Amino acid sequence: MVENLSSAERHNALKNLSGWKESEDGKSLTKTYIFSSFPQAFAFMTHVALYAEKVDHHPEWTNVYNKVHVTLITHESEGVSAKDIALALQMDEAAFAFLNPCMSDQSDLVF
């Protein structure tokens, strides 16, 4: 059984993320990543897809050229759970790695 985060927990978690917004009903999180090219966007999606499969938690997303629009929701609980926050953090780290391949220390990254 997956528990949804309370609205206070969600808002607190969003402070450690950048560019993520909650939907009006508070049941999902969204973000649009903008890369410099389609191959970069697709490489990001491939990287995230492998992670998502490993943790069995998957993004809902659309890709148009260099943009990837993402919605995160936990279907089982119909809301935002810790799994969505973990995936959002992982996606931000992956995006950072693709944008800045020379930087290896992302431990205190907020962007």
Structure tokens at 92: 């931000």
Q: Rule CB under 6 A: choose which of 58, 66, 69, 98 binds ligand HBI.
A: 58
Classify residue 39 by its DSSP letter. H
Closest to 30 (Cα-Cα) out of 42, 14, 15: 14
Contacting range for ligand HBI; rule: CB under 6 A; set: 19-27, 28-36, 39-47, 56-64: 56-64
Active site residue 3: no
Note if 47 is an active site residue: no
The verdict on 57 binding ligand HBI (CB under 6 A) reads: yes
**Alpha carbon distance 85, 103 (integer Å):** 23
Q: Identify whether the C-beta of residue 57 lies closer than 8 Å to the C-beta of residue 47.
A: no
Query: Quick one: which of 56, 101, 102, 104 contacts ligand HBI (CB under 6 A)?
Result: 56
Q: Kindly state the smallest distance separating residue 9's Cβ from ligand HBI, in Å.
A: 18
Instruction: Indicate whether 76 belongs to the interface with ligand HBI (CB under 6 A).
Output: yes
Shortest Cβ 17–ligand HBI spacing (Å): 16
Q: How far apart are CA 53 and CA 40, in angstroms?
A: 20
Residues making contact with ligand HBI (CB under 6 A): 56-58, 73-76
